[in-house]
């Protein structure tokens, strides 16, 4: 297992009112993302616990692109990764943002 | 006096030597090894029918058991090296030299044996190339083939998996060779004659049916969102703009996803009847929903697929069937059809380099090529026009004279940027080159040459290599869809942005596709059971695909 942490300053707060959301599953080649609205509006944090060791550089690139694209201000993401491919990671993160920025509960 | 009929005399002597073991043409299974010892001579070229799917397994075992003082140093010329016995022959010294095309399940062992010097390798061929050599310089002395049934005269019914048999028999029987068939049963009358009796010299009745591998069944339950996204990009970014009607699909999950998206995503785009109507393709179960929804007009097949027999029989408007109603496949003809009469090949690979060369060979596995190089190549002898072919030709040579410009076949490599265990699809240098250096081969085993590849599709987008004008543009078109692999991360962002402006690279958003819509609910069937339902209960999946 490897633990990784990323913190980014972002331009804008993520929309919506929902406080938390969860997407994905913990399984080999897949991942689970818990997202919570617990940070100041201009901050974003991503904590990763991954089964695949040695992919730090790839994570840095994936997370950098994700933050740039979605500006998820105020959100903390906790990722439980079963060695998912980077494209699956990007997709789950995007799904998590979509879910928490939806209106309603 | 010069004799001009030595080979015929040799053939007659071989038949006479085996005749003592036969009643008519029929030899008991228990005498199969003795038959081979009588008929085969040291150093003979032998085609042991190992097809892509169908295996002459009884005859393989019989050959493995021969007395080495009578039979040795054989030169095996067979399209598929599939059974362990196919390689045991080399370990034991029955065979020495090998020319082949495909070695799926034996790919790791064949690599070890080549490195260990156990096998003298002629070449790794494409199917059509090896078949062609059967008629020129690799004509078999003896062919050991498999069929479903024989009558007492030796007429053979191959069943739906006709595959290579007619080609092998043609080359052997008409050049004074010996044809020995293993059959599942001997009957009064065969359902149809696939091989006429006068081309068959001995028939061995097997105690159990020959082995057939279900190679073309992809469980929809295993298709990922990434593969669905990639399939959406291919349909909207390639099938639609070129209007691809005549095509061949590879066997991977990405193309299975395309097949399952036609009646849903494809339907919504209004593409029914405009794309994917005529196929050179095995009877893929994943295509059932598209067939049932009226997308597909005609399919010619290389082989068959386990469990599809009743469905094919009931859909004879779509498939090629015999007077008995069952599928008639033919690998040589279907390969030719794919080469000359299809406008697109789309399939996956294991490695792609910066020039677009691709190979399924890695340093520890030599899987062979099968049909991909024929499907995935421009046919230089093609002369008939079609919309996709002309459009692709115009894109690659916009200044050429329309009346003189060759068209181009669309050769599409599709895949996720990272494969199993996060192994990258894109590499700076192919393993195939390293392998060729180590084995001192004259040619690296490249599956599809970069200059034949027209498009690469990944979850990151579609790269149109036809629009690249320089090697540098081509390299960056490839880097630009290589995602987070090392190759992808080493891109020049400005150059990639420029290629995107020119439409060389098209992202999901450029095609109006939201990656968040790539959902499994888009698949027309989400399980094998769904496929059975679509088929009205006619598809009978093999037990390993049943979980109910």
- Residue B4 within any structural domain of the chain: no
Task: State whether B234 and B178 are in the same domain.
Answer: no
Nearest residue in B to A55, CA atom: B422
B379: DSSP letter:
-
3-state secondary structure labels for all residues of B19-35: HCCEECCEECHHHHHHH
Confidence of residue B356 (pLDDT cuts 50, 70, 90): very high
- Residues in chain A with CB shorter than 8 Å from the CB of B459 are 87
- Residue B130 within any structural domain of the chain: yes
Task: State residue B513's pLDDT score.
Answer: 97
Task: State residue B438's pLDDT score.
Answer: 87
- The region, left, alpha or beta by phi > 0 then psi within -120 to 50, assigned to residue B280 is beta
Task: State whether B89 and B151 are in the same domain.
Answer: yes
Nearest Cα of chain A lies from the Cα of B487 at a distance, in angstroms, of 12
- On whether any CB of chain A is under 8 Å from the CB of B508, the answer is no
Task: State residue B420's pLDDT score.
Answer: 82
Task: State whether B339 and B457 are in the same domain.
Answer: yes
- Residue B341 within any structural domain of the chain: yes
pLDDT in tens, B65-107: 999 999 999 999 999 999 999 999 999 999 999 999 999 889 9
Strands B202-205 and B26-27: parallel
Nearest Cα of chain B lies from the Cα of A58 at a distance, in angstroms, of 6
Task: State residue A103's pLDDT score.
Answer: 65
Residues 6 or more apart in contact with residue B284 via CB below 8 angstroms = B216, B217, B218, B249, B251, B256, B259, B305
Which range marks the domain in which residue B105 is found?
33-212
Q: Do A86 and B226 touch (CB under 8 A)?
A: no
Radius of gyration of chain B (CA): 24
Q: Do A91 and B515 touch (CB under 8 A)?
A: yes
> What average pLDDT score do residues B164-172 get?
98
Task: State residue B546's pLDDT score.
Answer: 83
Hey, how many other C-beta atoms are within 10 angstroms of the C-beta on B6?
Answer: 10
Task: State whether B281 and B313 are in the same domain.
Answer: yes
> What average pLDDT score do residues B268-272 get?
98
- On whether any CB of chain B is under 8 Å from the CB of A25, the answer is no
State the best of B223, B226, B484 to mutate against chain A, taking most chain A CBs within 10 Å: B484
Q: How far is B222 from B364, CA to CA, in rounded Å?
A: 26
pTM: 0.95
> What average pLDDT score do residues B445-470 get?
96
In this structure, what are the phi and psi dihedrals at residue B253, rounded to the nearest 5 degrees? -75, -30
| Domain A2-101 in this protein, CATH class | alpha beta
Q: Is B26 exposed, middle or buried (0-12, 13-18, 19+ CB in 10 A)?
A: middle
- On whether any CB of chain A is under 8 Å from the CB of B424, the answer is no
Of the two residues B548 and B485, the one the predictor is more confident about is B485
Task: State residue B511's pLDDT score.
Answer: 98
- Residue B160 within any structural domain of the chain: yes
Q: Do B417 and A95 touch (CB under 8 A)?
A: no
- H/E segment holding residue B410: strand B410-414
Task: State whether B198 and B334 are in the same domain.
Answer: no
State the best of A60, A84, A85, A99 to mutate against chain B, taking most chain B CBs within 10 Å: A85
Task: State whether B75 and B121 are in the same domain.
Answer: yes
Task: State residue B142's pLDDT score.
Answer: 98
Checking if the pLDDT of B231 tops 80, the result is yes
Q: How far is B303 from B330, CA to CA, in rounded Å?
A: 6
Task: State whether B488 and B434 are in the same domain.
Answer: yes
Q: Do A62 and B422 touch (CB under 8 A)?
A: no
Task: State whether B178 and B224 are in the same domain.
Answer: no
Among B212, B237, B265, the domain-final residue is: B212
- On whether any CB of chain A is under 8 Å from the CB of B418, the answer is yes
- Extract the tokens encoding B340: 């000359």
Q: What is the CATH number of the domain that holds B157?
A: 3.40.1080.10
- On whether any CB of chain A is under 8 Å from the CB of B376, the answer is no
Q: Do A85 and B515 touch (CB under 8 A)?
A: no
pLDDT in tens, A10-42: 999 999 989 999 999 988 889 999 999 999 999
Task: State whether B440 and B376 are in the same domain.
Answer: yes
Task: State whether B194 and B271 are in the same domain.
Answer: no
Distances (CA, A) of A82 to A47, A50, B454: 14, 6, 35
Based on the structure, what is the number of domains in chain B? 2
Nearest residue in A to B487, CA atom: A58
- Residue B18 within any structural domain of the chain: no
Task: State whether B372 and B230 are in the same domain.
Answer: yes
- From chain B residues 204-243, the ones with a CB under 8 A of any chain A CB are 224-226, 229
- Extract the tokens encoding A44: 């974003």
B60-74, B107-121, B282-296, range with the lowest pLDDT = B107-121
pLDDT in tens, B465-507: 999 999 999 999 999 999 999 999 999 999 999 999 999 999 9
Q: How far is A80 from A23, CA to CA, in rounded Å?
A: 11
pLDDT in tens, B394-427: 999 999 999 999 999 999 999 999 988 889 999 9
Q: How far is A95 from B103, CA to CA, in rounded Å?
A: 41
**How many CB contacts within 8 angstroms connect chain A with chain B?**
42
- On whether any CB of chain A is under 8 Å from the CB of B513, the answer is no
pLDDT > 90 in chain B, percent:
91
Hey, how many other C-beta atoms are within 10 angstroms of the C-beta on A3?
Answer: 8
Q: How far is B44 from B17, CA to CA, in rounded Å?
A: 16
Task: State whether B136 and B241 are in the same domain.
Answer: no
- Extract the tokens encoding B191: 């359902």
pLDDT in tens, A41-96: 999 999 999 988 889 999 999 999 999 999 999 999 999 999 999 999 999 999 99
Task: State residue A29's pLDDT score.
Answer: 87
Task: State residue A105's pLDDT score.
Answer: 45
State the best of A21, A58, A99 to mutate against chain B, taking most chain B CBs within 10 Å: A58
- From chain A residues 55-94, the ones with a CB under 8 A of any chain B CB are 55, 57-58, 61-62, 83, 85-88, 90-91, 94
- Residues in chain A with CB shorter than 8 Å from the CB of B227 are none
- Residues in chain A with CB shorter than 8 Å from the CB of B484 are 58, 61-62, 86-87
- On whether any CB of chain B is under 8 Å from the CB of A53, the answer is no
């Amino acid at each position: 297992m490897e633990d990784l942490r990323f913190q980014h300053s972002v331009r804008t707060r993520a929309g919506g009112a929902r406080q938390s959301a969860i997407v994905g599953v913990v399984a080999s080649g897949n991942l689970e993302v818990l997202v919570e609205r617990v940070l100041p509006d201009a901050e974003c944090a991503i904590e990763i616990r991954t089964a695949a060791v040695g992919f730090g550089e790839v994570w840095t690139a994936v997370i950098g692109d994700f933050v740039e694209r979605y500006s998820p201000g105020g959100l903390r993401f906790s990722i439980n990764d079963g060695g998912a491919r980077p494209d699956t990671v990007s997709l789950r993160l995007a799904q998590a943002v979509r879910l928490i920025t939806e209106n309603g509960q | 006096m010069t004799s001009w009929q030595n080979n015929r005399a040799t053939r007659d002597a071989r038949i006479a030597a085996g005749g003592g073991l036969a009643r008519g043409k029929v030899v008991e299974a228990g005498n199969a090894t003795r038959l081979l010892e009588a008929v085969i001579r040291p150093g003979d070229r032998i085609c042991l029918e190992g097809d892509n799917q169908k295996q002459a397994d009884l005859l393989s075992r019989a050959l493995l058991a021969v007395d080495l003082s009578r039979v040795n140093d054989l030169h095996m010329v067979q399209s598929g090296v599939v059974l362990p016995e196919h390689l045991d022959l080399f370990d034991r010294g029955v065979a020495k030299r090998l020319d082949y095309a495909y070695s799926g399940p034996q790919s790791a062992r064949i690599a070890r044996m080549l490195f260990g010097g156990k096998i003298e390798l002629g070449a790794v061929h494409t199917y059509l190339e090896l078949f062609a050599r059967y008629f020129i310089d690799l004509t078999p002395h003896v062919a050991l083939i498999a069929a479903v049934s024989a009558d007492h005269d030796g007429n053979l019914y191959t069943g739906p998996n006709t595959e290579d048999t007619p080609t092998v028999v043609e080359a052997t029987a008409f050049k004074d060779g010996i044809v020995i068939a293993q059959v599942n049963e001997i009957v009064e009358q065969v359902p149809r004659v696939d091989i006429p009796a006068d081309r068959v010299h001995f028939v061995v009745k097997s105690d159990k049916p020959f082995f057939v591998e279900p190679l073309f069944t992809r469980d929809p339950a295993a298709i990922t969102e990434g593969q669905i996204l990639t399939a959406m990009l291919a349909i909207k970014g390639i099938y639609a703009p070129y209007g691809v009607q005549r095509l061949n699909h590879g066997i991977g999950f990405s193309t299975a996803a395309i097949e399952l998206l036609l009646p849903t995503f494809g339907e919504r785009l209004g593409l029914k009847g405009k794309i994917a109507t005529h196929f050179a393709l095995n009877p893929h179960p994943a295509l059932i929903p598209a067939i049932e929804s009226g997308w597909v007009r005609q399919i010619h097949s290389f082989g068959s697929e386990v469990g599809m027999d009743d469905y094919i029989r009931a859909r004879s408007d779509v498939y090629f069937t015999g007077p008995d109603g069952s599928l008639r496949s033919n690998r040589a003809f279907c390969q030719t059809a794919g080469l000359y009469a299809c406008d697109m090949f789309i399939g996956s690979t294991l490695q792609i380099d910066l020039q677009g060369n691709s190979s399924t060979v890695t340093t520890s596995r030599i899987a062979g090529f099968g049909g991909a190089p024929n499907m995935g190549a421009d046919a230089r002898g093609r002369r008939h026009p079609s919309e996709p072919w002309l459009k692709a030709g115009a894109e690659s040579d916009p200044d050429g004279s329309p009346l003189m410009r060759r068209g181009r076949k669309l050769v599409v490599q599709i895949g996720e940027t990272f494969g199993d265990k996060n192994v990258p699809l894109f590499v700076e240098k192919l393993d195939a080159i390293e392998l060729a250096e180590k084995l001192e081969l004259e040619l690296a085993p490249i599956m599809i040459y970069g200059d034949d590849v027209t498009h690469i599709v990944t979850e990151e987008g579609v790269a149109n290599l036809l629009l690249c004008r320089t090697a540098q543009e081509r390299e960056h078109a490839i880097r630009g869809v290589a995602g987070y692999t090392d190759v992808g991360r080493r891109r020049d962002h400005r150059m990639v942005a420029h290629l995107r402006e020119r439409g060389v690279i098209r992202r999901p958003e450029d095609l109006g596709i939201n990656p968040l819509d790539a959902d499994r609910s888009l698949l027309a069937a989400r399980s094998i059971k769904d496929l059975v339902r679509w088929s009205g209960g006619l598809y009978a999946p093999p037990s390993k695909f049943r979980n109910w």
